[in-house]
A and B are shown apart, each in its own frame.
Chain A
Amino acid sequence: MTNQIDGSEPDEIARLLRERLPRHQVPARLRVSIVESLDPPKSRRRPSLWLPPALSALATAMVMLLWLAPALPRSTPDQIQRLSRAVMSEYARAVFSGEVNPETAPAALPRVMRESGVLLNWVFTGDADITLVNVQPAFLEGRRALAMTYQDRDGHSVSYIIARGPNVAIPDRGRVQIARWRPLVRTEDGVTLIVWKQSGLVCVMASDMVSEADLGRFKEYFIKVRSSTELSETY
Chain B
Amino acid sequence: MADDEFRQQALRHLDALYNLAVYLTRNGSEAEDLVQETYARALRFSHRFEPGTYMRAWMFQILRNTFLTFYRLREREPALSETGVPDGEAPMFHHAPAVDGESAGAHMDLERALGHLPEEFRTPLLLAEVEGLSLEEVARIMDCPVGTVKSRIFRAKERLRGLLKDYGAQDLTT
Contact = CB atoms under 8 A, between A and B. Distances in A.
A110 B75 contact: yes
**Chain A interface mostly:** mixed
Interface stretch (A6-14, A49-57, A88-96, A188-196): A6-14
Contact of B170 (A1, A23, A35, A120): A1
Nearest to B40: A37
Interface in B5-30: 7, 10-11, 14-15, 18-19, 22-23, 28, 30
Contact of A228 (B15, B18, B35, B70): B70
Interface stretch (B50-58, B88-96, B133-141): B88-96
Interface stretch (A25-33, A77-85, A161-169): A25-33
B168 A23 contact: no
B1 interface: no
B154 A10 contact: yes
A19 to B, nearest CB: 10
Given A27-B32, A109-B73, A5 B165 contact: yes
Nearest to A35: B11
B95 A13 contact: no
B14 A34 contact: yes
Interface string A114-127: 00000011110101
22 contacts: A4-B171, A4-B174, A5-B164, A6-B165, A16-B110, A18-B130, A22-B111, A23-B15, A23-B19, A24-B31, A24-B93, A26-B18, A30-B35, A30-B36, A31-B14, A33-B36, A34-B14, A37-B36, A38-B7, A38-B39, A122-B30, A123-B70
B4 interface: yes
Interface of B: 3-4, 7, 10-11, 14-15, 18-19, 22-23, 28, 30-33, 35-37, 39-41, 43-44, 69-70, 73-75, 93-97, 99, 103, 106-107, 110-111, 114, 125-126, 129-130, 154, 157-158, 160-161, 164-165, 168-174
Contacts, number: 135
Contacts of B125: 17
A121 B41 CA distance: 20
A34 B95 contact: no
B132 to A, nearest CB: 9
Given A20-B172, A34-B39, A27 B95 contact: yes
A8 B161 contact: yes
Nearest to B97: A22
Contact of A2 (B10, B19, B107, B170): B170
Contacts of A102: none
A5 B157 contact: no
Given A4-B173, A8-B173, 20 more contacts: A1-B170, A4-B170, A4-B171, A11-B157, A13-B161, A14-B129, A14-B157, A17-B125, A20-B172, A22-B107, A25-B18, A30-B35, A34-B36, A109-B73, A120-B74, A121-B30, A121-B74, A128-B44, A227-B33, A228-B33
Given A26-B18, A38-B10, A16 B95 contact: no
A21 interface: yes
Contacts of B22: 24
Given A17-B110, A17-B129, A24-B31, A5 B173 contact: yes
A155 B4 CA distance: 35
